[in-house]
Amino acid sequence: MRNGNREKEKSPGDWGVTSPQLREEDEKDLSLRPQRLQEFLGQREMKENLSVFISAARERNESLDHLFLTGPPGLGKTTLAQVVARELGVDFKVTSAPALDKPKDLVGILTTVAEKTVFFIDEIHRLKPAIEEMLYIAMEDYELDWIIGQGPSARTIRIPIQPFTLVGATTKAGNVSSPLISRFGISCRFGFYKKEDMEAIVRRSAGILQTVVEDDAAVLLAASSRGTPRVANRLLRRMRDFAQVLGNGTISAAIVSRGLERLEIDGLGLERHDREILRIIIERYNGGPVGAETLAISVGETVDTLEDYYEPYLIQAGLLQRTPRGRIVTSLAYKHLRLNRPGNELPL
Ligand SMILES: Nc1ncnc2c1ncn2[C@@H]1O[C@H](COP(=O)(O)OP(=O)(O)OP(=O)(O)O)[C@@H](O)[C@H]1O
Ligand SMILES: [Mg+2]
């Protein structure tokens, strides 16, 4: 496949379950977003621990310790940050690392927020060094170092701020510096959701959308959603469309099978682009190893998108491995794509 054709060839397979751009679509659909810890399904151990830390902070009338959230996209990091603020009964202030351009941006926020505010910084791996250093002191001492004047007459003053809880989220924990990580008292690593939890999420969302989903349809939808609530919600909305236009409004297993086929989503929940990535490794690089940069160029993605949005699920599904020498596909990938592994050709 040539790069020039890529855009055309990507659609309609690239209708968006993994697309970062379409993340905004569900940010708008706030009705599906859990508001309280009880509605936040799955991730049981993480939730149970958090619930203890939240109760303890509330009882002591203190701000919750700083919280680090990491894991693949669409698993609920932003949602959990909001839930935590709500459970604590405190204000929620949200920004992202790229929006914090100058130290004064951070000072502007931290000097004006109310006591115990949950201050959420998304994409925390992208903080500028000057901002990050300022945060160290803010997190530890609830103070900010502010430089007044310039040149030899410049001096630093310390500005006290209200105690707050920093919630930092990232899909790239490996890119966060260890001094920053060490300042978070609580760390939550999101893994892909279990089958039962995905089913519960599908059922909850269907209830909110007032759509009937038959049991076997919920099971099928859950299994095709890459262990990712965002994907489940998006697939559910599409299936609701299919059910409405092609059926009688009820989401049945037949509707889901038909819908998934039309969206080119296979039994493992892979989209066309996922399969294309595997096929390119097999056909152009003999199954690997191939370096991330080379692969990203070959599949027409940035390294970031490849590493954050596509690979985690392919790895979890047992189709791809990251090795020090590069990416390799597994025998399961050959089997899934019905391709012969070199050396395993059937005798003529
Ligand atoms: N535990 C959960 N239970 C039910 N629904 C959930 C859960 N977690 C996430 N969701 C749903 O999935 C959607 C995506 O979650 P969210 O935006 O919090 O993911 P994220 O981890 O912040 O993703 P990104 O890395 O792209 O920012 C939410 O809008 C919410 O509706
Ligand atoms: Mg988010």
DSSP codes, 257-280: HHHHHHTT--TT---HHHHHHHHH
Tens-digit pLDDT profile for residues 1-16 = 334 444 334 333 444 4
171 is catalytic: yes
The finding on whether 76 has its CB within 6 A of some atom of ligand 1 is yes
Topology of domain 270-336 in CATH is Arc Repressor Mutant, subunit A (1.10.10)
- Name the residues around ion ligand 2, CB cutoff 5 A: 77-78
Of 28, 79, 83, best ligand 1 pocket probe by most atoms within 8 Å of the beta carbon: 79
Nearest listed ligand to the Cα of residue 190:
1
Nearest listed ligand to the Cα of residue 308:
1
Q: In the chain, where are the structural domains located?
A: 27-189, 195-262, 270-336
The finding on whether 327 has its CB within 6 A of some atom of ligand 1 is no
**In sequence order, what are the beta bridge partners of 94?**
120
Instruction: State pTM to two decimals.
Output: 0.91
Can you tell me the distance from the alpha carbon of 127 to that of 137, in angstroms, rounded to the nearest whole number? Answer: 15
- Domain 27-189 grouped into CATH 3.20.20.140: no
Residue from 10, 33, 77, 240 carrying the catalytic annotation: 77
Tens-digit pLDDT profile for residues 216-262 = 999 999 999 999 999 999 999 999 999 999 999 999 999 999 999 99
How high is the mean pLDDT in each 10-residue block of the chain (348 residues)? 39 46 59 95 97 98 98 96 98 97 95 97 97 97 91 91 98 96 97 97 96 98 96 96 96 98 96 97 96 96 93 97 95 95 64
Tokens linked to 177: 């510096």
What phi and psi, each to the nearest 5 degrees, are found at residue 102? -120, 155
330 is catalytic: no
For the domain 195-262, what is the CATH code?
1.10.8.60
Residue 149: its pLDDT value, please?
87
230 is catalytic: yes
Task: Check if the beta carbon of residue 52 is closer than 8 Å to that of residue 167.
Answer: no
